Amino acid sequence: MLGRQVFKTLESMPGITAVPVDRVTVDLADAVETSRYFASVAADAVIHTAAHVGGIGERVERPGSFLTTNLRIDDSVISAALDNGVRRLLYISSAGVYPADTPQPITPDALLTGPIEGPMEPYALAKIVGMKRCEYAKREHGVQYTSIVPTNMYGEGEETNLKTAHLVPAALGKVHAAKESGAPSVEVWGDGTARRELMFAPDAGAWLARIAASDVELPDALHLGSGDEMTVREIYENVCAVVGYEGELTFDTTKPSGVPRRVLDSTAANQLGFAELTSFDEGLRQSYQHYLAITGA
């Protein structure tokens, strides 16, 4: 999702040759194949958005897969970048790397200050290792490798499979299906009180492309957040309004809700021009239109 938005912006920038990488082009979990590909491309900068991702349900069911696959991908990409002289790399991490009880809004120095929220742990552990790899590479080799920690993103290119989708696309899919079938209610995991900060992926992608193409010095870690925060219940209510569903929401409190609140301190990114972001209402409307287009609904 994010990589697609980054590439769109890079394509429109004069003097930039953007080279996208997908699963068909190269298996990024294969270190030898990845290094060979990097050597053939001879990139000046890399924006590393690749990861094995999914929603809370899949993380609970397949924790080992989340951990090991992401460790392999990150080791292949970061090692290949170093081996092939890439001087600038933006590593996309996750806000889930921070402890469950971190004071809000979260600052980068909260990393490794406490235990991670249970269902997020396998993915977060891999991302923490990736962040530290970049920090150490910067220290040892003098390269500009920076970890970008985004808040919850949504937008074009989202996973629509309800078993693996994140919060917003999962909500869109469930509510749309309920509307089409005439179901009287939609089930939501948890009690609906957990608060989440949401960001439209095209906003993040456009900014990352510009930063990657610049020579501005960046800190070891940089947060990207929108300040657009609401409860899970409010998110589903907004989705119902956009979809035009008039049924009820039911909350399954036997299922995990995730951390009670997760909001990032994005002051540093704002000072570097990360501002004037798309509102949730508008982003959600665009996301639903894209969902209808790609699913043929």
Q: Using pLDDT thresholds of 50, 70 and 90, give the confidence band for residue 167.
A: confident
**Which one from 37, 91, 98, 123 is the annotated catalytic residue?**
123
Length of the chain: 297
Average pLDDT, the chain: 92
Cβ count within 10 A of residue 29: 20
Give the sign of the dihedral formed by CA 116, CA 119, CA 123, CA 125.
Answer: positive
Q: What is the pLDDT of residues 36-95, one digit of tens each?
A: 999 999 999 999 999 988 767 677 777 888 899 999 999 999 999 999 999 999 999 999
Give the sign of the dihedral formed by CA 164, CA 269, CA 111, CA 75.
Answer: positive
Active site (annotated) includes residue 136: no
The pTM assigned to this predicted structure is 0.89
Q: For position 160, what pLDDT does the model report? A: 64
Does residue 172 have a pLDDT over 80? yes
Region 33-38 average pLDDT: 96
Q: For position 63, what pLDDT does the model report? A: 84
Give me the residue label for tokens 């990024």.
28
Please spell the DSSP secondary structure of the chain, one letter per residue. Answer: -HHHHHHHHHHTSTT-------TTT--TT-HHHHHHHHHHH--SEEEE-------HHHHHH-HHHHHHHHHHHHHHHHHHHHHTT--EEEEE--GGGS-TT--SSB-GGGTTSSPPPGGGHHHHHHHHHHHHHHHHHHHHH--EEEEEEE-EEESTT----TTT--HHHHHHHHHHHHHHHT-SEEEEES-S--EEEEEEHHHHHHHHHHHHTS-----SEEEE----EEEHHHHHHHHHHHHT--SEEEEETTS----SEE-B--HHHHHTT--SPPPHHHHHHHHHHHHHHHHT-
Does residue 272 have a pLDDT over 80? yes
Highest mean pLDDT among 4-8, 133-137, 153-157: 133-137
Q: CA 106 → CA 115, 190, 209, 280, distances in Å?
A: 15, 23, 24, 21
Q: What is the pLDDT of residues 278-288, one digit of tens each?
A: 999 999 999 99
Give the sign of the dihedral formed by CA 251, CA 261, CA 274, CA 211.
Answer: negative
Q: Using pLDDT thresholds of 50, 70 and 90, give the confidence band for residue 163.
A: low
Domains plus CATH for the chain? 2-295 (3.40.50.720)
Task: Judge contact between 229 and 62, C-beta under 8 A.
Answer: no
Contact partners, residue 11, CB within 8 Å, separation at least 6: 18
Closest CA to 65 of 123, 118, 120, 132: 123
Could you tell me the two tokens for 197? Answer: 């900060």
Q: For position 259, what pLDDT does the model report? A: 84
Q: What is the pLDDT of residues 88-145, one digit of tens each?
A: 999 999 999 999 889 999 999 999 999 998 888 999 999 999 999 999 999 999 999 9
- The mean-pLDDT minimum among 113-122, 152-161, 179-188 falls in 152-161
Does residue 164 have a pLDDT over 70? no
Does residue 20 have a pLDDT over 80? yes
How many degrees, rounded to 5, is the angle at CA 289 between CA 286 and CA 293? Answer: 135
Q: Using pLDDT thresholds of 50, 70 and 90, give the confidence band for residue 232.
A: very high
Give me the residue label for tokens 């951990």.
67
- The mean-pLDDT minimum among 77-86, 131-140, 167-176, 235-244 falls in 167-176
Give the integer Cα–Cα distance in Å for 140 and 160: 41
How many degrees, rounded to 5, is the angle at CA 196 between CA 157 and CA 129? Answer: 70
